[in-house]
Amino acid sequence: MSATAIIDAARLQVRRFGEAKTNVVDIARALGTSHTTIYRHFRSKADVFDALVITVMRDEEELAAAHLDAEGSATERLMAMILDLYRRKLERFAGDREIHDLYRRIVVERPDIIAGYAERMTALIGKLIAQGIERGEWKVDDVATAAGVVRDAVTTYVNPAFVALLVNAGAPVEDMVRATINTLARAFEAGMVYAPAFAANAVAERA
């Protein structure tokens, strides 16, 4: 019995019965095995659910990474990346609510998992920004800082809790994404300087 098979079975059980009503015995029964088999791979039900959400995150990372090799300008590819991520979150909220809710809880309760996910996604954004610089489309002196700015600007559109709020409010989310990315792209086209000296001067002026 593989860890992947256990995660797949857990996903089906959560979809059918919800997180609260799913336990290790239920997962084992669905697999035709005993709960001791589950414990060979996972210490607890919480560990199984953590692993399930991590597989969902990996799916999103693969979705985002595909845009690094796609056709189009850096602006077009960044736009498509964020829209695709939002749409994937929306699909879960609308049609896979139990997994959405599990993901949403993990966001709150497992900051270590979320920090790792955010770091990997920020690195992907950084690679796309670097491509834009190499092709002469954007002018940015600090890719890591710029990637963090993009990450922070789009978090509202990809965090499960915010997605739920925006959808329930009837917000024009895709228009909002386009406006956000176009604003960032215009800044990158004009040229962004994040040099330490610039930052120090800005702090001194505020003081």
pLDDT confidence tier of residue 23, bands split at 50, 70 and 90: confident
Instruction: Indicate which CATH number applies to the domain containing 28.
Output: 1.10.10.60
Q: Are residues 4 and 87 in the same domain?
A: no
Q: Are residues 70 and 29 in the same domain?
A: no
Q: Are residues 109 and 71 in the same domain?
A: yes
CA distance 180 to 207: 29
Mean predicted lDDT score pLDDT of the chain: 91
Q: Are residues 63 and 24 in the same domain?
A: no
Q: Above 70 in pLDDT, residue 193? A: yes
Residue numbers of the domain that contains 21 = 1-43
Q: Are residues 19 and 111 in the same domain?
A: no
- Domains identified in the chain, total number: 2
What is the per-residue pLDDT across 83-129, written as a single tens digit (0 to 9) for each?
A: 999 999 999 988 888 888 898 888 889 999 999 999 999 999 999 99
Q: Are residues 59 and 20 in the same domain?
A: no
What is the per-residue pLDDT across 140-182, written as a single tens digit (0 to 9) for each?
A: 999 999 999 999 999 999 999 899 999 999 999 999 999 999 9
Q: Are residues 36 and 53 in the same domain?
A: no
Q: Are residues 123 and 32 in the same domain?
A: no
